[in-house]
């Protein structure tokens, strides 16, 4: 079973679309664990009524703090840390297991608008998304407007995803895209939980996996699955104006933890966006 862990603060329309895509496009059993950060729009009740396990925080907490809350009650051997503002691709879970096994990986992310197979393809996709979202951004975020934005971007979503799997089946490249991160239990045993001091926790996870691979050679660094494309409504969370983090005093910068020499060594072979 896969444990999906998702942190939310409001965004009820997006939450409905997220659950709809999980139910429609998942092939394997999963549990959905939602960390609700003091939502005021009935999101927590919606998720509970949808069958999710909901942890109700009284305040808004940072991303890594919430992911670790989810890990404590997760039962799956694969942990899927998914943003709530995504649409998963058809058979994402089945493709994920195949990719992990074929490439002998413990840490994988999907690809997405932020990054695909090479820089020029990524730039082209981001330009297309900017055109699609700017028109719809004139209207409030409803399930209908979010679906229209998605339709303008991809046309036939299932065909778009099927074509990517046909071109890149089991294909990976080293790097990360932070909205859909997948870890085996073995990965957590080797590199630990999310570092709750860093809001850029996906970036930090890549660095720790790379460091471990260099120093011990018992795990591969994080890779991007090029055939698993999850759509991300970029900047949607920022647009919703979330509350300040209750644990903000604990958060440090990425540069405080990782020196310039560390960054140069471990980031030299990957594409950043």
Domains identified in the chain and CATH numbers = 2-256 (3.90.550.10)
pLDDT in tens, 182-235: 999 999 999 999 999 999 999 999 999 999 999 999 999 999 999 999 999 987
CA end-to-end span of the chain: 32
Residue 255: both structure tokens together: 């540069």
CA distances from 59 to 98, 189, 194, 201, 244 (A): 38, 29, 19, 20, 9
The CA radius of gyration of the chain, in Å to the nearest whole number, is 18
Residue count (the chain)? 273
Q: Is the dihedral of CA 65, 69, 71, 74 positive or negative?
A: negative
Smallest CA-to-CA distance from 37 within 18, 58, 22 is with 58
Band the pLDDT of 271: cuts 50, 70, 90: confident
Residue 49: both structure tokens together: 């009524």
Burial of 148 (0-12, 13-18, 19+ CB in 10 A): middle
pLDDT in tens, 128-181: 998 887 766 656 678 998 999 999 999 999 999 999 999 999 999 999 999 999
pLDDT in tens, 63-117: 999 999 999 999 999 999 999 999 999 999 999 999 999 999 999 999 999 999 9
Contact criterion met (CB below 8 Å) for 99 and 108? yes
| Between 273 and 152, the higher pLDDT residue | 152
Residue 140: both structure tokens together: 């409030």
Q: What is the reported pLDDT for 243?
A: 79
Band the pLDDT of 239: cuts 50, 70, 90: low
Quote the DSSP letter at residue 154: H
């Amino acid at each position: 079973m896969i444990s999906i862990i998702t942190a939310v603060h409001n965004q009820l329309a997006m939450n409905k679309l997220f659950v709809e895509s999980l139910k429609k496009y998942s092939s394997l059993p999963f549990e959905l664990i939602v960390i609700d950060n003091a939502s005021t729009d009935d999101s927590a009740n919606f998720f509970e009524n949808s069958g999710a396990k909901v942890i109700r925080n009284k305040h808004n907490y940072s991303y890594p703090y919430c992911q670790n809350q989810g890990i404590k009650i997760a039962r799956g051997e694969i942990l899927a840390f998914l943003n709530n503002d995504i649409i998963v691709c058809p058979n994402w879970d089945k493709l994920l297991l195949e990719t992990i096994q074929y490439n002998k990986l413990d840490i994988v992310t999907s690809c997405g608008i932020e990054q695909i197979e090479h820089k020029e393809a990524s730039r082209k996709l981001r330009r297309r998304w900017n055109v699609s979202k700017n028109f719809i951004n004139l209207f409030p975020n409803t399930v209908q407007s979010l679906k229209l934005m998605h339709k303008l971007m991809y046309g036939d979503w299932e065909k778009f995803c099927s074509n990517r799997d046909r071109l890149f089946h089991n294909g990976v490249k080293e790097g990360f895209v932070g909205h859909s991160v997948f870890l085996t239990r073995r990965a957590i045993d080797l590199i630990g939980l999310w570092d709750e001091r860093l809001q850029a926790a996906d970036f930090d996870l890549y660095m720790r996996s790379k460091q471990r691979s260099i120093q011990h050679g018992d795990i591969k660094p994080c890779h991007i699955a090029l055939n698993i494309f999850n759509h991300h409504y970029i900047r949607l969370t920022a647009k919703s104006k979330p509350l300040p983090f209750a644990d903000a005093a604990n958060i440090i910068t990425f540069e405080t933890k990782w020196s310039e020499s560390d960054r140069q060594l471990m980031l030299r072979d990957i594409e950043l966006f």
